[in-house]
């Protein structure tokens, strides 16, 4: 128990290697300890291994802890919740997602049985994270709202910061950048005051990526450099110099993502590839498959295409498709289609096949929903359509892209789209696009009106020719924007704000 407590003190100070030493020493001396003590030490060791980026060892240790609990007759809901929570996070990064989800449900159930709000919070937080990487927007909102409720009950100053990170990623993905930046900037100040050095680098990267989209490149670079410094990049001497030392992988890999994205935006694809592939090497060495798939591979693949290094782009795209297929990772499959579409067009001289793949990618991104990324793909789709003589269809795709990019304030992409429209003889619309009440898009207002008219998701989908799942995703976004929590509250909002008639 003494070694366990000393290990915990090191762990919560961010000294994961020291914590691991205490846990290992405790296990070596625990032959005659009660089963619950051995389970507790194995579990703590597995969690420390995970934070050191040794995922395979971590998974084996936590699975061993669960087996020991069963063999020793340990019927302790608190310990079992911790074990399932650890496996939820491990399988979130490595897959399969269904296994992660199963452990998450078990973690919540055991936490509730034990009356442990803190464990219940971490389980819901982990399930929200899982939903984010697996592209399930509705589940993100459901679990992160529950996390917020639990954090409020416990009156913790730290837990809302970790929930805020997921809100930032979620809002950034759906294109609500004002809200995402507001939360990010506020949380950065709080995280600095509470010395949350594990969380800070990621917050800087997520905020920096939004600034990059909006054309604030100096601000983005400032944040990416801060992320790199805090994550430990300066200690390595170079991006490739990490060697075999212990790394805070969930911080250092996003730091690579930020810098690679910056160099890509600045038109330096070779440097973007170098930085991105250095990050990929770290993620691969430590087993963080989803970090590579969700963030690094798309950036490196795009940079390789921009550098016209088609063989490299094809290798990364093939890997995206393989890993995304295995994990059923919607975002990875969409990016693989986009990359393959551009390869078909530019390398293989087959723009018609490129059109099919690019259209598929755009539709998948919109369904997740990742509207700004979908708009970028539609810009490329427009070019392929024009090359095959489909000028009017190409113009329509450019207008769709322009509408989304203008609404979200994506300055650089919007400027490029307007220039492309002029080159193709298409008059650009105004740079600003009006939005509805509380910032709802036109499609969201349509759906809100139908909800007020007591239409089901299936009926709404049939009317708008979209899937019920896409309707559900739109409703999740509407609930967040309007701070409502049910269809009845949404219907009341529609009636009270005179939105029934268009």
For 89-120, the pLDDT digits (tens) are 999 988 899 999 999 999 999 999 999 999 99
* 139 confidence band (pLDDT: 50, 70, 90): very high
The token pair that represents 32 in the structure block? 């005659």
- Residue 246, pLDDT score: 53
CA gap 264, 279 in Å, rounded: 15
Identify which has the larger pLDDT, 355 or 30.
355
pTM over 0.85: no
Phi first, then psi: what are they for 500, rounded to 5°?
-70, -30
Return the half-sphere exposure (C-beta side, CA atoms, 13 A cut-off) of residue 484. Answer: 17
Share of the chain above pLDDT 90, in %: 55
* 404 confidence band (pLDDT: 50, 70, 90): confident
- Residue 40, pLDDT score: 84
On the 0-12 / 13-18 / 19+ scale of CB atoms within 10 A, 363 is middle
Tell how far CA 372 is from the center of its chain: 15
Share of the chain above pLDDT 70, in %: 93
Residue among 199, 203, 200, 205 nearest 220 (CA):
205
Q: Is the pLDDT of residue 54 over 90?
A: no
* 479 confidence band (pLDDT: 50, 70, 90): confident
* 340 confidence band (pLDDT: 50, 70, 90): very high
The 10s digit of each residue's pLDDT in 482-497 is 767 788 888 888 887 7
* Mean pLDDT for the stretch of residues 280-285: 90
The token pair that represents 29 in the structure block? 């001396």
- Residue 209, pLDDT score: 97
Count of all residues that appear for the chain in the document? 502
For 179, residues 6+ apart whose C-beta sits below 8 A from its C-beta are 171
The token pair that represents 370 in the structure block? 């990742």
Q: Tell me the three state secondary structure of residue 240.
A: coil
State the Cα angle at 238 between 232 and 240, rounded to 5°. Answer: 100
The 10s digit of each residue's pLDDT in 215-249 is 999 999 999 999 999 987 655 434 444 433 456 77
Q: Are 213 and 413 in contact (CB under 8 A)?
A: yes
For 79, residues 6+ apart whose C-beta sits below 8 A from its C-beta are 36, 39, 40, 43, 69
Tell how far CA 314 is from the center of its chain: 24
Among positive and negative, which fits the CA dihedral 283, 284, 288, 294? positive
Buried b (16+ CB within 10 A) or exposed e, 442-472: ebbbbbbbbbbeebebeebbeeeebeeebbb
On the 0-12 / 13-18 / 19+ scale of CB atoms within 10 A, 333 is buried
Task: Kindly report the average pLDDT of the chain as a whole number.
Answer: 88
Q: Tell me the three state secondary structure of residue 389.
A: coil
- Topology, domain 436-502: Arc Repressor Mutant, subunit A (1.10.10)
Tell how far CA 425 is from the center of its chain: 38
* 394 confidence band (pLDDT: 50, 70, 90): very high
Residue found by looking up tokens 């950036």 in the block: 299
- Residue 159, pLDDT score: 94
Q: Tell me the three state secondary structure of residue 410.
A: coil
The 10s digit of each residue's pLDDT in 166-202 is 999 999 988 889 899 999 999 999 999 998 888 999 9
The token pair that represents 319 in the structure block? 């890997």
* Mean pLDDT for the stretch of residues 63-81: 80
Please state, as a whole number, how many other Cβ atoms lie within 10 Å of the Cβ of residue 117: 17
Mean pLDDT is lowest, of 38-47, 274-283, 346-355, for 38-47
- Residue 236, pLDDT score: 45
Residue among 441, 467, 466 nearest 175 (CA):
441
Whole-angstrom distance between the N-terminal and C-terminal Cα of the chain? 66
Domain residue ranges in the chain? 436-502
Q: Which own/partner contact pairs does 414-419 have at CB distance under 8 Å and 24+ positions apart?
A: 415/215, 416/379, 417/379
CA gap 177, 410 in Å, rounded: 10
Question: Could you give the C-alpha distances from 294 to 59, 61, 364, 373, 408, in angstroms and in order?
Answer: 21, 26, 14, 13, 22
The token pair that represents 390 in the structure block? 């489909």
Mean pLDDT is lowest, of 109-118, 151-160, 312-321, 464-473, for 464-473
Identify which has the larger pLDDT, 11 or 267.
267
**CA Rg, the chain, in Å?**
24
Identify which has the larger pLDDT, 462 or 312.
312
CA gap 290, 333 in Å, rounded: 13
């Amino acid at each position: 128990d003494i070694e366990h407590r000393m290990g915990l003190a090191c762990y919560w100070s961010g000294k994961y290697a020291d914590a691991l030493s205490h846990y290992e020493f405790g296990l070596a001396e625990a032959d005659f300890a009660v089963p619950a003590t051995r389970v507790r030490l194995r579990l703590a060791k597995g969690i420390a291994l995970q934070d050191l980026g040794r995922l395979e060892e971590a998974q084996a240790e936590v699975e061993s802890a669960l087996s020991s609990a069963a063999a020793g007759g340990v019927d302790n809901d608190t310990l079992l919740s911790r074990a399932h929570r650890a496996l939820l996070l491990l399988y979130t990064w490595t897959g399969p997602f269904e296994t992660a989800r199963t452990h998450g449900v078990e973690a919540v159930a055991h936490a509730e049985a034990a009356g442990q709000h803190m464990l219940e919070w971490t389980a819901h937080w982990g399930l929200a994270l899982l939903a984010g990487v697996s592209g399930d927007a509705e589940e993100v909102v459901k679990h992160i709202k529950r996390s917020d409720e639990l954090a409020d009950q416990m009156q913790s100053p730290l837990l809302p910061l970790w929930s805020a990170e997921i809100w930032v990623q979620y809002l950034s993905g759906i294109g609500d950048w004002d809200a995402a930046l507001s939360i990010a900037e506020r949380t950065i100040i709080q995280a600095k005051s509470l010395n949350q050095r594990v969380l800070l680098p990621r917050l800087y990267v997520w905020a920096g990526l939004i600034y990059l989209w909006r054309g604030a490149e100096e601000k983005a670079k400032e944040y990416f450099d801060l992320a790199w410094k805090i994550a430990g990049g300066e200690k390595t001497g170079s991006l490739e110099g990490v060697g075999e030392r212990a790394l805070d992988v969930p911080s250092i890999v996003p730091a690579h993502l930020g810098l690679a994205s910056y160099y890509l935006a600045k038109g330096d694809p070779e440097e973007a590839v170098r930085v991105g592939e250095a990050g990929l090497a770290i993620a691969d060495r430590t087993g963080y498959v989803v970090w590579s798939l969700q963030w690094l591979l798309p950036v490196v693949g795009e940079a390789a295409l921009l550098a016209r290094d088609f063989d490299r782009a094809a290798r990364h795209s093939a890997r995206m498709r393989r890993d995304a297929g295995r994990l059923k990772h919607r975002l990875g499959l969409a990016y693989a289609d986009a990359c393959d579409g551009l390869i078909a067009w530019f390398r293989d001289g087959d723009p018609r096949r490129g059109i099919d793949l690019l259209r598929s990618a755009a539709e998948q991104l919109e369904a997740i929903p990742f509207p700004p990324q979908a708009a970028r793909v539609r810009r490329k789709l427009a070019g392929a359509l024009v090359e095959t003589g489909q000028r009017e269809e190409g113009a329509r795709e450019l207008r769709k892209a322009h509408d989304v990019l203008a609404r979200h304030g994506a300055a650089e992409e919007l400027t490029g789209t307007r220039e492309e429209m002029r080159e193709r003889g298409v008059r650009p619309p105004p740079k600003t696009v009006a939005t509805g009440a509380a910032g709802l898009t036109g499609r969201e207002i349509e759906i809100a009106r139908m909800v007020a008219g007591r239409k089901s998701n299936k009926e709404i989908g049939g009317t708008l020719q979209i899937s019920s799942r896409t309707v559900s995703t739109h409703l999740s976004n509407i609930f967040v924007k309007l701070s409502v929590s049910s269809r009845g509250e949404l219907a009341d909002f529609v009636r009270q704000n005179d939105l029934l008639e268009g």
